[in-house]
Amino acid sequence: MISEVEKIFSEFLEKKDLKLTSQRRTILHQAVKARGHFSAEELLGFSKGADRTISKATVYRTLALLKDSGTLEEHDFGGGKKLYEKAQGRRHHDHFVCIRCGKIIEFENDQIENLQDLEAKKQRFKVVYHSLKLFGFCSSCK
Amino acid sequence: MISEVEKIFSEFLEKKDLKLTSQRRTILHQAVKARGHFSAEELLGFSKGADRTISKATVYRTLALLKDSGTLEEHDFGGGKKLYEKAQGRRHHDHFVCIRCGKIIEFENDQIENLQDLEAKKQRFKVVYHSLKLFGFCSSCK
DNA sequence: CTTGATGCAAAGTGTTTGCAACTTA
DNA sequence: TAAGTTGCAAACACTTTGCATCAAG
């Protein structure tokens, strides 16, 4: 069976005259089935598990496509490396990041979103995307 | 005359048994007088202007101290390099980042801050600092 | 004079790229 | 079979670190 994400990704590729290779399909599947936030290195690990020949370069190149197609979202929670998470079919949310144990907690808050829109209007700024991260100590670490 | 920032920074160093060297003083002054957001590389340039012998390594090492002492704040607006801005004696603010021209616009919004506090309370999370960035097109670019 | 700081260059880290061989549409 | 894709290794950009020398307290 062909999943919804795969359909969306393949249509994205087609529209740009790009090809759906076996490597891209493997990486897509691994990225979508991973839970939580993962790094490029981790995704390479997952993908190698399914196809030993997949290279780091292909993972990075595919990650860019998955981001552009809206399949994944990229986050920088500090610590040098970027993290990714499934975005397709999920509602927008923001994050708490525990600076002791590294735990990431998601939350949705429409009131904050609305105030951001108002602020943008005030500044005549056209927001494309945003990032709100609250760093501190989670309930187990504080 | 000894400025307020210098006093705070030297007390910070003293408390940790670190020394206030001429290089640290120079870098501090350049960082504090720079307006807007600047990179480590730019700060190295400013500092070299005042003292040709200052090295990249010392700038990076001092930047860490300026951050820890609350003199500067570090931001990652994407684009690979971190940017810094004076924090001492300034009120907290967030940023719009134009993804076309790179312009950074600051704003303060207490309502958003309050809602963040409420959300943190709900999650039993102790927030130490946060970052809100709205990416998109500024009024001249949209 | 003891301990920490500096400059230099080398080493790291995560990510990107050039290229010849190879798939996909 | 044309055009995009891959794996490999080298290249990159930014930042950090080891070490012998130097300076602050």
Put simply, the chain A residues between 21 and 50 with a CB less than 8 A from any chain B CB are: none
B101 vs B34: which has the higher pLDDT: B34
Q: Encode burial over B92-121: b for 16+ CB neighbours within 10 A, e otherwise.
A: eebbbbbbeeeebeebebeebbebbeebbe
Q: What is the pLDDT of residues A24-61, one digit of tens each?
A: 999 999 999 999 999 999 999 999 999 999 999 999 99
Every domain of chain A and the residues it spans: 2-86, 94-136
Weakly modelled stretches of chain A, pLDDT under 50 = none
Looking at per-residue pLDDT, the higher value among A109 and B1 belongs to A109
pLDDT of B58 reads 98
> Where do the H-state alpha helices sit in B16-127?
22-33, 40-50, 56-68, 110-122
The domain covering A94-136 belongs, at the CATH homologous superfamily level, to Ferric-uptake regulator, C-terminal dimerisarion domain (3.30.1490.190)
Structure tokens at B86: 């004076």
What strand order describes the sheet that includes A72-75? A38-39, A83-86, A72-75
Indicate left, alpha or beta for B46 from its phi (over 0: left) and psi (-120 to 50: alpha): alpha
Containing A12, the helix (H) or strand (E) segment is helix A4-15
A76 close to B135: Cβ distance less than 8 angstroms? no
Assigned token pair, B45: 């340039």
CATH architecture, domain B2-86 = Orthogonal Bundle (1.10)
Per-residue pLDDT of B29-64, as tens digits, reads 999 999 999 999 999 999 999 999 999 999 999 999
Q: What are the beta bridge partners of residue A106? A: A95
In this complex, which of A105, A116, A133 lies closest to B112 when CB atoms are compared? A116
Its pTM stands at 0.92
Average pLDDT, chain A: 96
Instruction: Give B80's pLDDT tier (boundaries 50, 70, 90).
Output: confident
DSSP class of residue B36 equals: S
Q: CA of A96 vs C1' of D16, distance in Å? A: 28
The Cα A41–Cα B136 span in angstroms is: 29
Distance B78 CA to C22 C1' (A): 35
Q: What is the pLDDT of residue B97?
A: 95
CB contact under 8 A, B125 and A115: no
Beta carbons of B12 and B67 less than 8 angstroms apart: no
What is the mean pLDDT of the segment spanning B110-131?
Answer: 97
